[in-house]
Every structure is written in C-alpha cells, then in structure tokens.
Structure 1
Amino acid sequence: MPGPQETFREPAVPLARFARFRTHDLDEAREAVGRIFCPHQLNTIGKAPFQARHHHVPGERVSLNYIEYGAKTQIVPGCLDQFYLVQIPVSGSAAIVNGADRYTSDAGRAAVLNPHRETTMIWEEGCKQLLLQISRRALTAHANANLGLTTDQPIAFEGALDLTSAAGTRLLRLVHLLVADAEQARDPALSPSAPFPAPSAVSANPSPLLTHYMENTVMTGLLEAHRHNYSGQLRRVTSSVIPGHVRRAQAYMLANLDRPLDIDEIAAYAGVSARNLQLGFKRFLSMAPMAYLRDIRLQRAHEDLLQGRREASVTEVAERWGMTHLGRFSQYYKTRYGCTPQETLKNARARDFLG
C-alpha cells in the first residue's frame, strides 16, 4: 500500500503528451474523434462509466493514435472512404464487422478496416487501442510505385491481422517504435495545444516524427503482414531476391528525396561502384538508379498536388522533392500522368471546393 507521503499516480498511457481530449461526455467525444477521422455514430452499451480520451500524432500519409472509451461502446462509421484504419488493442477486445468480414480483434489480432466497406464495431468495456490511419490514395500509390503492384482498384484486406506471425510481429514492433520515438521527441510544434486537423485529412498537420521513410516502412509492413486481394501478386514481385546494395540504394534515395543526389553519392552509400549499382538496378528493377529516383520524386509530388492545398504552388512542391529544374519536372510529370502539374493542382482545388 502507498505510504503516507505517496500520492496515487495514474498508469502511463501511450502518447499522453499528444492528448486531444479527455471527457465523460459522449457527444463531445463523438464530435472530437469525428474531426480527426470521420463522422460516425457512437453509443454506450451497459452501465460502465464512459471515460474517453484520444491522443493523436498527425503525419503526411499516416497518423498515429491512441483511443479508449472505458465503457462498452458501439461505433458505426459506415464507409471510412478516404483512409484505412489499423486498430491494435493494447488491452481488451473489439468485435468488428467490415463488409462481409466478421471477427474479434484482441491482443494477438489487429483489425484492418477497408475504407470502401461498411463498418460497425463494438469495443468491449476497458478496450484500449493504438490506431494507424493510412491514406487510401497513398497506400495504393505506394504499392504501385514501391512494391511493383499495378492496380487502381481498392486494396481489400481480409479478416483479422495475425500479430503473432513473423511479419505481424515486425509490424507491431514498428508501431511500438513509432510510439516510443514520439514520446521521447522534443519539439514544441508537437504540443497538445496544436489545432485539430481537417476532417479525414491525414496530412493536414504533418508531424516531423512521421517521416516519409517511416510511413513507407509502415505501409510496406502492413501489405506484407496481412492478406489482401493482391497478396499473390506481391509475393511474385518480391520472390526474386533483390541484392543488399540495391536495397541500400533504395533506402538512401527514399531518405533523401528532398535534396540533390547523384549516382556517385548513392553508390558510395550502397558500398559499390556506380557501374555495379546501375547493373543491379537494371537487372532487378528494370530501370536506371536515377530513373528510379525520378519516378519516386514524381510520385511524391503527384500526391502533394492531389491534396490541393491553398498555400501550395507547383514550384514549392517540385523543390520539396528535389526537382529544381521546373521545365524538366513538368515534362516528366505530363508524360507520366497525362496532364501538367498545374492542371493537377487546379483540379484538386476545384474538387475540394465542390466537395
């Protein structure tokens, strides 16, 4: 028992310094969570007290969250539409209905909610969860650009994600690493008083903690850990072993997309000559290293322009991704996407205005 001078301390909860709210009011919780994710129904079941809290670390394409409600709770968001939601129970369990899928999520099984399917959930009393909100558009683009998939159709995950498998364990370890990094970081821009993001927009207020490299790793980890309608295609793509020096070069490029790179610098990091690096990329990826780098930069710029942010400009987006020659950028962009960067930005702003 605590001594006379000791005071009770509440057990630590994940991401506490990123608290968005803590409330006993059901309507307040529904509205606040809806601002981060999407409008939804939220109702309590049973007599346990309702004690809700939400902690949130925003990212550009992936956000990190912690939510608990205390009471047994029914949550009905319908179709999430713009994002996938990975729910990892810290304690307790939840009953999930996502389209035709019906399963229980608990300590060994995460839920992955497909955005194009109707969702209903019941979180049991005492259920506490870490959640990854992943942009639907970004996950599809990442699968096409980085994993060799070729699809414009929704990626549909099937059933519960087994967190005890080798790939599931790696993904869980990565999520815990992201949580630990966020909790240890010192950045005044990440204070709990920061404004709410816009509804359903993962990238509205991105955190420097969730870098492109880490977001890529999370998306790759999810696609490898959980079965989906493109799992067979993904296994065929990754079955040929890409040598270490090519993978090192890929990782280096992804971590340095925002600054000038040349073949000699990349090859030096990879530990091979420029000639051997070119041969490796040609054999295993069917393209030159600098073409690979250009394609990834174009993809990142395309994702940014599709956001249609009012403060964005084509020049700013291009320079953010290391493309300082605007004429060449526009030429390559139009060849790949069939329109100019300015047209993409204009259409995205018009879509947001009308929607």
Structure 2
Amino acid sequence: MTLEGVELSGGRAGALPLAGSPLFVSTDVDEARVRVAEVYCDHRLDPMGRGRFAARHNRLSGRDLSVNVMTYTAKTMITPGALREFYLFQYPLTGHASISNGANRHEIGGGRSGVVNPDEDTCMIWGEGCAQLMIQVRREALQGMARSHFGLPEGQTLRFFGANDMRAGEGKAFLGLLNYAVSGEGLLGKGGLMGQQLETMLMVGLLQTQRHNRSDHVQEAGGPLPRAVRLAEDYMKAHLTETITLEGLAREVGVSERALQAAFRAGRGRSPMTVLRDLRLERAWQDLSHPGPGTSVTDVAMQLGFFHLGRFSEHYRRKFGCTPSETLRGAGRL
C-alpha cells in the first residue's frame, strides 16, 4: 500500500494505514464523537443520508504532532467550530470532502489536500466512504517552524488557504515522507531523536507543500511551478552527488542564469542554490538515518558536496533540529 498511489479500499477494516495503532472502531455516533473529541476537540457529528454509519480511527502520537487515519462509512457532517489549539492537515486516501474554514472554502480528494486553520469556525462534510490521512500539529509548534523557516514575524498568525495538488513535485515527495511515517509505526511516539527529526521534517513539509500567507511566491490556486524550476529540480535530484553550478544548471534547463534565478524566486521564494542545498540536506538525513556498514558523517557530507563540515553541521541543525552525528547515533551506527 502506498499513499502516493492511493491504493486504499475504503470500507475494508484491514486496509487502513496505521492498523497497528488503532484508537477506536464504532458504529455508534455518540461514542465516535466522544472518542474523537478526546484527541481533537468537542464537535457535532451528524451522519447524512441513509448509509450505515461506522467510524474507524488509527492514531500515532508524537511530541508536537500526531498522524491519524480516519474513515466514516456514511456521508457525515463534522462541525467543531474553531480548532483553537492545532492545525489540521487533511489528505483523502479515498473519497472527497468539502471544507469550510472561515472564508477559506475548498474541496479535497483526488490527490488534493488542505489545512484547517485553528482560529476560524470550521464545518466539514466527508463523502460516503471517505478515508483521510491527517496530521494534527500544535499551533505553537507549527508557527515556530514558520518563523524559523519562512520568516513569520512575531505576533503574526500563520494562515493556510485553498487546496493543494499533491500528485507531483514536492507534494509527491511529501507523501513519500508520510508513507515512511505511517510504515514506521511507533517511531513518533518514542520521543527519541529519530522521532523528533521526523516531526520536524513533517512540519517543514507542510509549510513547503501547503499554500499559506508566508509562502514567498504567488501562484494561481493549483497552478504549476514554472517549467524551468521543474526541470532544474528534476536535474538536481538526479545529480545530487555531482558538481552543480548555476551556470551549468541554466545550460541544462535551456535558460539564462538570470531567468533561472527569477523563476526560482517566483516559484519557490528561494534561489536555485538554496533549493539545491536543502535537497542535499534531505538526502543527508536519509543516508544518516538509514545507514549502512561504515556510514560516517564525513563521507555523507563529502559525497553531497559539503566540504566544510562545520558549515554542513550548522545548516543541518537549523533544518532538522539536531546535528548529523546525533542522527547517526540515533540510528545506532555511530
């Protein structure tokens, strides 16, 4: 089963991800509402139509966020008002849902996701058989991540809007990370370095793939990235261990250096070389958290073009909240 391929069959109890971390199963509406309210917030739960009602909720909890998989067999209206203490990322694995979150109204499903803001009245209608993968993340934690990674000013509220296409590019990569999170059941709840790093990556992934008021670029809802950016990023990912210069990258893409820089500023809010550095840091995290015999921080850094180990360690710590050595130690190979 993969999240990217949406190979989930709604209604089959064993088909839901996180089957090893069940929270509850119920065919009673009142019981389902109470059990969900215990981990989210109080709300109204109103089945619609004549379909048989059943609810299932699997949940894996960490320090600042939890990963959840939920399904309602019947078409269901959920009215929590304002969530207050947390943001809620929603990605339907099957079916569709309509979300009303203050003035932010959108449809999710069919490869599209969305985030519910905590300070606006919310009403959701899940279609019959809708099964959703959700990340519940503490408001303060995500806003802190937005301040450190996206320059969110003190006192300003992080606000998401619209639906986001997750079928390609960074969206697809983020689903791959989520697939890892749900396949490694228990990692988030153990409180170790690996779990903390995974939480950090999930929060950064939310900020990079879901549109919000601190995104450093303006696109039409669901609009694609500039072609030059997509081509350049594809080339970067395929050649992370090779020498890549701005001049060479522009030549590979077929545009001038100035045009490539402008495309990245418009599409990513960052320079091409900054994006390349972040891609290499993410590869370093993968290599260090899944080491082979003889894996070392120095070798990983050098292979990815980080020849100044002190600077590599500082960039890594800022991105993941720990040092490369701590990642390797947490994987048991240091």
Counterpart in the other structure of 2:151:
149
Given that 2:152 and 2:158 are in contact with CA atoms closer than 8 Å, whether structure 1 keeps it comes out as no
Structure 1: give runs of 5+ residues left out of the alignment: 1-8, 191-202, 257-264, 282-287, 301-319, 321-355
- Say how many residue pairs are matched: 258
Alignment of 1:31-180 (within 5 A): 31-145=34-148, 147-152=149-154, 153-180=156-183
Structure 1 distance, partners of 2:286, 2:146, is 15
CA RMSD of aligned residues (A): 3.7
Given that 1:149 and 1:233 are in contact with CA atoms closer than 8 Å, whether structure 2 keeps it comes out as no
Structure 2 distance, partners of 1:176, 1:59, is 16
1:239 paired with 2:271, answer: yes
Question: CA 1:37/1:88 → structure 2, altered by over 3 Å: closer, same or farther?
Answer: same
| TM-score using structure 2 length | 0.65
Question: CA 1:165/1:248 → structure 2, altered by over 3 Å: closer, same or farther?
Answer: closer
Q: Which letter maps to 1:61?
A: D
Q: Which letter maps to 2:197?
A: Y
Structure 1 distance, partners of 2:20, 2:193, is 14
In the TM superposition, what is the alpha-carbon distance from 1:276 to its structure 2 partner? Answer: 5.2
Q: Which letter maps to 1:159?
A: G
1:271 paired with 2:302, answer: yes
Structure 1 distance, partners of 2:312, 2:113, is 37
In the TM superposition, what is the alpha-carbon distance from 1:11 to its structure 2 partner? Answer: 4.6
Given that 2:43 and 2:79 are in contact with CA atoms closer than 8 Å, whether structure 1 keeps it comes out as yes
Question: CA 1:173/1:209 → structure 2, altered by over 3 Å: closer, same or farther?
Answer: farther
Counterpart in the other structure of 2:332:
none
Question: CA 1:223/1:245 → structure 2, altered by over 3 Å: closer, same or farther?
Answer: closer
After superposition, what is the alpha-carbon deviation per residue over 1:59-80, rounded to whole angstroms, capped at 9, x for unaligned?
A: 1122111111211111011111
Given that 2:301 and 2:312 are in contact with CA atoms closer than 8 Å, whether structure 1 keeps it comes out as no
In the TM superposition, what is the alpha-carbon distance from 1:136 to its structure 2 partner? Answer: 1.7
In the TM superposition, what is the alpha-carbon distance from 1:240 to its structure 2 partner? Answer: 4.9
Structure 1 distance, partners of 2:82, 2:58, is 23
Higher alpha-carbon deviation: 171-180 or 89-98: 171-180
Q: Which letter maps to 1:144?
A: R
Q: Which letter maps to 1:177?
A: Y
Question: CA 1:210/1:105 → structure 2, altered by over 3 Å: closer, same or farther?
Answer: farther
After superposition, what is the alpha-carbon deviation per residue over 1:153-196, rounded to whole angstroms, capped at 9, x for unaligned?
A: 122111112112412211222212222222xxxx6xx9xxxxxx
Given that 1:212 and 1:255 are in contact with CA atoms closer than 8 Å, whether structure 2 keeps it comes out as no
Counterpart in the other structure of 1:347:
none
Q: Which has the larger radius of gyration?
A: 1
The one of 192, 195, 208 equivalent to 1:224 is 208
Structure 1 distance, partners of 2:13, 2:318, is 49
Question: CA 1:130/1:242 → structure 2, altered by over 3 Å: closer, same or farther?
Answer: same
| TM-score using structure 1 length | 0.61
Q: Which letter maps to 2:274?
A: I
In the TM superposition, what is the alpha-carbon distance from 1:144 to its structure 2 partner? Answer: 2.4
Higher alpha-carbon deviation: 217-226 or 61-70: 217-226
Q: Which letter maps to 2:302?
A: G
Given that 2:170 and 2:208 are in contact with CA atoms closer than 8 Å, whether structure 1 keeps it comes out as yes
Question: CA 1:179/1:209 → structure 2, altered by over 3 Å: closer, same or farther?
Answer: farther
Structure 2: give runs of 5+ residues left out of the alignment: 1-11, 219-263, 289-295, 327-334
Structure 2 distance, partners of 1:35, 1:88, is 21
1:211 paired with 2:195, answer: yes
The one of 32, 35, 42 equivalent to 1:29 is 32
Structure 1 distance, partners of 2:13, 2:281, is 46
Structure 2 distance, partners of 1:172, 1:252, is 19
Structure 1 distance, partners of 2:24, 2:194, is 21
- Secondary structure, counterpart of 2:273 in structure 1: coil
Given that 1:41 and 1:75 are in contact with CA atoms closer than 8 Å, whether structure 2 keeps it comes out as yes
Structure 2 distance, partners of 1:135, 1:27, is 26
Question: CA 1:227/1:249 → structure 2, altered by over 3 Å: closer, same or farther?
Answer: closer
